[in-house]
């Protein structure tokens, strides 16, 4: 728990519950949601969360749960976590315009997933070359169900690192 305390910047590690954690679905640089160049995300219209600028084109499950929706364009996925959190992973800004090009889904709606299962892959270089920003918001769309949605204090994350702690 001391490591979790340090990662999340808590003074009292007894309040940290591992079943209320969302783990990083990506490898990359952590960015505050307020810095995302899209008001829907930066103004938390869809919920609270954090963003990651991916360095690898792989999205894994951030928790155990059920796939509610893989967007037709494969640029986003919605997961209902076993702990009750509803998580949106949205790979890139305005990438819906690619209509699925350079994205591949490895899951389908209604599938059960375990933390670390491969959800999506995408061609990072091709998408960047087309001029798209690949910053990826990870949103807890039912943020109102929690007292707080606390993001990691780390600058870089890899798959499985604690990304968000939900406090009931």
CA–CA gap between residue 164 and residue 62 (Å, rounded) = 10
Tokens of 100: 């699925």
Among the listed ranges 5-19, 31-45, 117-131, which one has the minimum average pLDDT value?
5-19
DSSP 90: E
- The verdict on whether 90 is a catalytic residue reads yes
pLDDT of residue 99: 96
168: confidence class by pLDDT, cuts 50, 70, 90? confident
Please say whether the beta carbons of 70 and 113 come within 8 A: no
Q: Point out the catalytic residue in the list 90, 102, 106, 159.
A: 90
Q: Which domains does the chain have, with CATH numbers?
A: 19-167 (2.70.70.10)
Residues 48-101: pLDDT tens digits? 999 999 999 999 999 999 999 999 999 999 999 999 999 999 999 999 999 999
pTM of the model: 0.88
The average confidence (pLDDT) of the chain is 90
pLDDT of residue 18: 52
Q: What percent of the chain has pLDDT over 90?
A: 87
| CA angle, residues 42, 49, 163, in degrees to nearest 5 | 135
């Amino acid at each position: 728990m001391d490591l979790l305390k340090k990662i999340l910047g808590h003074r009292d590690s007894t309040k940290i519950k591992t079943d209320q954690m969302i783990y990083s679905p990506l490898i990359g640089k952590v960015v505050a949601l307020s810095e995302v160049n899209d008001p829907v995300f930066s103004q938390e219209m869809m919920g609270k969360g954090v963003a990651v600028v991916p360095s690898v084109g792989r999205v894994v499950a951030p928790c155990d749960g059920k796939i509610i929706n893989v967007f037709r364009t494969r640029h986003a996925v919605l997961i209902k976590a076993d702990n009750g959190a509803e998580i949106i992973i949205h790979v890139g800004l305005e990438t819906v315009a690619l209509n699925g090009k350079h994205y591949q889904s490895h899951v389908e709606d209604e599938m059960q997933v375990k933390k670390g299962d491969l959800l999506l892959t995408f061609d990072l270089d091709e998408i960047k070359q087309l001029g798209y920003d690949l910053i990826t918001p990870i949103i807890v769309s039912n943020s109102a169900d929690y007292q707080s949605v606390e993001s990691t204090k780390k600058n870089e994350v890899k798959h499985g690192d604690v990304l968000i702690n939900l406090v009931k």
